[in-house]
Amino acid sequence: MESSKAGSVQIRFSSHPSEEIWEEYAFGRLDESHLAPLEEHLLVCMECQETLEGVDTFIATVKSGAAAMQTSQREPFWSRWLRPAPRVAIAFGAAVLVAGVAIAATLYSSQTFLSTAPLAVVALQSFRGDNLQTVPAGHLLELQVPAADVAAGSNFRLEVVTSSGSKIWNGKAGVTRVPRGLGRGTYFVRLYGSDGELLREYSLRVE
Amino acid sequence: MIGSNTGAAAKRALDLEHTVEQLQTEEGSSSPHSDAYSGLVELVERIRSGQTDGMEDLYELFSKGIRFYLCRQLGPQELDDKIHDTFVVVVQAIRKGELREPQRLMGFVRTIVRRQVAAHIDKVVHNRREQIELDSTVRIADPGGDPEQRAMFQQRDHMIRKVLNELAPRDREILTRFYLLEQGQDQICSEMDLTETQFRLLKSRAKSRFGELGRKKLAQKTLSAISMRTSTGLSH
């Protein structure tokens, strides 16, 4: 049991109002019948003075931060662009982005992403067993499809999968260069016809 | 959900009633002869008979509370004078026999403090009106304070905003609804589809998370200020 003492006067408290009640008090939601005993208690209880002070501070803190946040959210998005510093930053960012996209598109279309890697030309042969075609690891691959396997002028498509069947490259129609070097292991090159039908499968060993 | 929220509101009202009842019992309002209260009757007697130790005890018992109450209502300006004025009024009233039930001393002091607050506000409003009538070109203080103070407040707001932004959306929503928009528990529970228990847990978690993040940010800021000061000192 706590108490407030002054000379011979001692007031004992067996309990204190909860923080929720002090919040209601701080928001002015209590009527006079509830207010009177609380304020009388407050006049002599330092612990509750501290609690209420904490509640007041917390309310003021959240109010100032949340109000500032709501104001900035209400601001039209384009108004930030009109400010000098962000405008420069955005213009710079946009320029970098455009340049990046242009370079990537050029590289992709010419399939020379890893132009520093050497190129290996592979004449695909459709046989299985131990006689796998061997190609060096880390080389770009130029795949040559046997003419017998595709009808003249037909629109074929190539795909490279690992020995477990995971797709690692899916070429567009007529594209025969794999724009990345493959790691060591066994791979399969699949040949699809224009209607999407699987025509052939060639095996490769990368060493 | 609506049913459970109505039940929650009723339970909350009961909690409040219980707290108030308990306070009234302890403070002697309902049971004037309770032990917790007996010292006050004797204190009033000592003040009535003009004993100085009675005045001292009265001051010791109420000065912090009156200071807190007045400061909260009126701000820190001339606080000591206001406390002194309040005590003078209380003592004079007791000596004049205006406190008929000594066990109601706390309620009596509260009434006088509230009257003092009302009188002060009335005086300020009256003075301001007179001043405006006398001098139509009266200068109005800049509510934003001096530039340094403004910058400080802006920094603080920026930090609080960052902390709020880092909270989970639901935590942020409950804090904003309760503390900024001052929505009641029932409204929040119904609009966020929460039970009373969920509301309490969520609010409590949001508050502690907010405090935790705030402390971290403050520590970072202090550390960077110290390191900046140190590096500036080293460069000299």
Q: How confident is the model at residue B47 (pLDDT cuts 50, 70, 90)?
A: very high
CB contact under 8 A, B165 and A69: yes
The reply to whether A7 touches chain B by the CB within 8 Å rule is yes
Q: What is the mean pLDDT of residues B88-94?
A: 94
Residues A150-171 have a mean pLDDT of 80
pLDDT, residue B153, reads 78
Least Cα distance to B6 among B184, B205, B201, B180 occurs for B184
| HSE toward the beta carbon, residue B161, CA cutoff 13 A | 14
What pLDDT is attached to residue B215? 87
Residue A187 CA to its chain's centroid (Å): 31
Residues of B in contact with A8 (CB under 8 A): 39, 42-43, 57
Higher-confidence position of B70 and B181: B70
DSSP state of A182: P
Between B86 and B149, name the one with better pLDDT: B86
* Most confident option among A70-74, A139-143, B174-178: B174-178
Pairing relation of β-strands A140-144 and A119-123? parallel
Q: What average pLDDT does this structure show over B215-227?
A: 74
pLDDT band at A91 (very low <50, low <70, confident <90, very high): low
pLDDT class for B12, splitting at 50, 70, 90?
Answer: low
**Amino acid B2: pLDDT:** 44
Give B153's contacts in chain A (Cβ within 8 Å).
64
* Mean pLDDT, range B92-107, rounded to an integer: 92
Mean local confidence (pLDDT), A6-30: 84
Q: Which of the two residues, A39 and A176, has the higher pLDDT score? A: A39
Q: Quickly state the pLDDT bin for A190 (edges 50, 70, 90).
A: confident
B31 vs A69, more confident: A69
Average pLDDT across chain B, whole number:
81
**Contact check, Cβ <8 Å, B180/A67:** yes
User: What residues in B contact A45, CB-CB < 8 Å?
Assistant: 65
| Mutation for testing the B interface, residue in A50, A52, A53, A61 having most B CBs under 10 Å | A61
Find, in chain A, the residue whose alpha carbon is nearest to that of B157: A65
Work out the minimum CA distance from B136 to partner chain A, whole angstroms.
33
CA distance B201 to chain A (A): 13
Q: Per residue in A49-58, pLDDT tens?
A: 999 999 999 9
Residue B107, amino acid: G
The whole-number average pLDDT for the span B53-63 is 91
**Residue A85, pLDDT score:** 54
Separation of alpha carbons A30 and A35, rounded Å: 6
B116 falls in which pLDDT band (50, 70, 90)? very high
For residue A139, what pLDDT is reported? 79
pLDDT reading at B33 higher than 60: no
Between residues B18 and A141, which one has the greater pLDDT?
Answer: A141
> Distance between CA atoms of B52 and A71, rounded to whole angstroms?
57
Q: Does pTM surpass 0.90?
A: no
A8/B26 CB distance under 8 A? no
- pLDDT of res. B32: 42
| Angle at B207 (CA atoms; ends B204, B211), nearest 5 degrees | 140
Q: Does residue B76 or residue A73 have the better pLDDT?
A: B76
Tell me which of B62 and A73 has the higher pLDDT: B62
pLDDT average, residue stretch B89-107: 92
At residue B25, the pLDDT reads 64
Helix (H) or strand (E) holding A143: strand A140-144
Task: Taking residues B12-21, report their average pLDDT.
Answer: 71
SS3 A138: coil
pLDDT above 90 for B29: no
ipTM of the complex in this document: 0.77
Q: Above pLDDT 70, what percent of chain A?
A: 67
Q: What is the pLDDT at residue B177?
A: 92
Model confidence at B149, pLDDT cuts 50, 70, 90, reads: confident
Q: Do A11 and B26 touch (CB under 8 A)?
A: yes
C-alpha to C-alpha distance for A126 and A131, rounded to whole angstroms: 10
Which 8-state DSSP code applies to residue B1?
-
